[in-house]
């Protein structure tokens, strides 16, 4: 189930953890009724690295991907959950008839200069029927949440974030170079040129597609979403469709923290014949196959004739 949570986190990463900062995420989930999932669970992440999962059914904490002792961090997780006001949220929302599930996302951020950054809290719940909560009740809840975050939650969150950064600094600060390719695919109406960067970390990357040295306009580009790979790395692809009559040089340019300089990959289209340079090689291979085939046939004929002569 915590793998589903990771997808949820990654959807919000670009807006909540900008370059030049680190963040700690906590997503708690309560489910009402009979489901295959625990009634209560939460997952914690340092930036985009999953560090902890809690199963409320077995009341067990499960560290993820750690190579260091982190018992103190796990104790902080319990304190964070305790002071994040989950019980208050439950009383407010689950007292509403028809509420089925509740999710609370809390994020705190620490800038590289050591100062706390933004803090995000989001609640989401599903329910059946109509929702009837007075404005007075909601205002009380908002006021209580603001004070709780300022005096209780944020100090614990920042302290936990600093602890994880100290223990997992090599993991979150690693740099993996992207593999960059400029791909071409034939279509019924022309060709699709795709600039693909994959296998890189961290997630921040600048990928640009150029035509004759000029950036291709955004409205011509499709794709560009940052997507996670199964191994914890990332990928990004931008594509452009062109007609057969075009004669242009396209360049995929990538800048990334792992690269000392920008990385460029170039593809030249010549009158809609992007595979023209391959034709001589193909013809040479066919010619060699023909030569070897004729030689084999002559050898077989000579062996057959020699056998007939001895007879």
Domain at 137, CATH number: 3.30.500.10
> What confidence tens digit (pLDDT) does each residue in 216-228 have?
999 999 999 999 8
Q: Return the pLDDT at 141.
A: 73
Encoding tokens for residue 159?
A: 């302290």
Q: Specify if 304 maps to a domain.
A: no
10, pLDDT greater than 50: no
Report pLDDT for 15: 46
More confident site: 178 or 60: 178
Kindly provide the residue ranges of all beta strands, DSSP E only, lying in the chain, ordered along the sequence.
21-31, 40-46, 49-55, 60-63, 99-111, 116-127, 179-186, 190-200, 205-211, 214-215, 222-228, 234-243, 249-256, 263-268
286: how many CB neighbours lie within 10 A of its CB? 10
| Same domain (yes/no): 60, 139 | yes
In a domain, 120, yes or no: yes
Domain count, the chain: 2
Torsion 198-62-8-169 (CA) sign? negative
66 domain-assigned: yes
Residue 86 has a pLDDT of 53
Euclidean distance between CA atoms 135 and 193, whole angstroms: 54
Same domain, 89 and 114: yes
**Is 158's pLDDT higher than 70?**
yes
User: 60: exposed, middle or buried (C-beta count within 10 Å: 0-12, 13-18, 19+)?
Assistant: exposed
Cα angle value 96/98/101 (rounded, 5°): 90
Worst-scoring range by mean pLDDT, 90-104, 120-134, 186-200?
90-104
CA-based max dimension of the chain: 113
Domain CATH code at residue 216: 2.60.40.10
In terms of domains, do 140 and 205 share one?
no
For 30-41, the pLDDT digits (tens) are 887 777 888 888
Residue 173 has pLDDT above 70, yes or no: yes
Nearest to 142 by CA among 89, 186, 103: 89
Residue 264 pLDDT more than 60? yes
- Above pLDDT 70, what percent of the chain? 72
Number of Cβ atoms within 10 Å of the Cβ of 59: 9
In this prediction, residues 243-266 reach a mean pLDDT of: 90
Angle at CA of residue 19, ends 14 and 24, nearest 5°? 70
- The SS3 call for residue 265 is strand
| Mean pLDDT taken over the chain | 77
Q: What percent of the chain is predicted at pLDDT more than 90?
A: 21
Q: Give the model's pLDDT for residue 7.
A: 45
Neighbours of 145 (CB within 10 A): 17
Q: Residues 74, 122, 48, CA angle at the centre, nearest 5°?
A: 50
> Partners of 59 in the beta sheet?
none
Kindly report, residue by residue over 174-214, the tens digit of the pLDDT.
899 999 999 988 888 888 999 999 999 988 899 999 999 99
Q: Are strands 21-31 and 40-46 parallel, antiparallel or unpaired?
A: antiparallel
Q: Are residues 270 and 207 in the same domain?
A: yes
Task: List the domain range (segments joined by +) for residue 55.
Answer: 2-172
Greater confidence (51 vs 128) lies with 51
- pLDDT of 282 > 70? The answer is no
Tell me if 28 sits within 8 A of 90, measured CB to CB.
no
Q: Which residues lie below 8 Å from residue 306, measured CB to CB, with a gap of 6+?
A: none
């Amino acid at each position: 189930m915590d793998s589903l949570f990771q997808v949820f986190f990654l959807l919000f990463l670009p807006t909540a953890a900008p370059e030049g900062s680190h963040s700690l995420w906590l997503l708690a989930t309560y489910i009402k009724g009979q489901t295959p999932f625990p009634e209560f669970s939460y997952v914690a992440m340092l930036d985009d690295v999953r560090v902890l999962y809690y199963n409320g059914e077995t009341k067990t904490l499960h560290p993820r991907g750690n190579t260091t002792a982190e018992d103190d961090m796990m104790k902080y997780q319990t304190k964070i959950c305790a002071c994040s006001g989950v019980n208050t949220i439950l009383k407010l929302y689950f007292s509403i008839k028809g509420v089925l599930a509740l999710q609370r996302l809390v994020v705190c951020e620490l800038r590289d200069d050591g100062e706390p950054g933004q803090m995000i809290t989001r609640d989401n719940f599903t329910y059946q029927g109509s929702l009837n909560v007075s404005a007075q009740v909601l205002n009380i809840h908002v006021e209580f949440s603001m004070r709780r975050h300022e005096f209780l939650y944020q100090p614990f969150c920042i302290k936990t974030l600093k602890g994880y950064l100290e223990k997992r600094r090599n993991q979150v600060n690693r740099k993996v170079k992207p593999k960059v390719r400029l791909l071409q695919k034939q279509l019924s109406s022309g060709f699709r040129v795709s600039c693909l960067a994959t296998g890189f970390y961290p997630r921040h990357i600048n990928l640009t597609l150029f035509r004759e040295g000029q950036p291709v306009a955004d409205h011509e580009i499709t794709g560009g979403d940052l997507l996670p790979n199964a191994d914890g790395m990332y990928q990004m692809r931008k594509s452009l469709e062109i007609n057969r009559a075009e004669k242009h040089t396209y360049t995929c340019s990538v800048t990334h923290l792992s690269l000392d300089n920008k990385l460029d990959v170039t593809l030249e289209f010549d009158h809609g014949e992007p595979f023209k340079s391959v034709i001589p090689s193909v013809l040479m291979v066919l010619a060699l196959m023909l030569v070897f085939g004729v030689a084999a046939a002559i050898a077989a004929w000579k062996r057959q004739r020699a056998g007939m002569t001895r007879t």
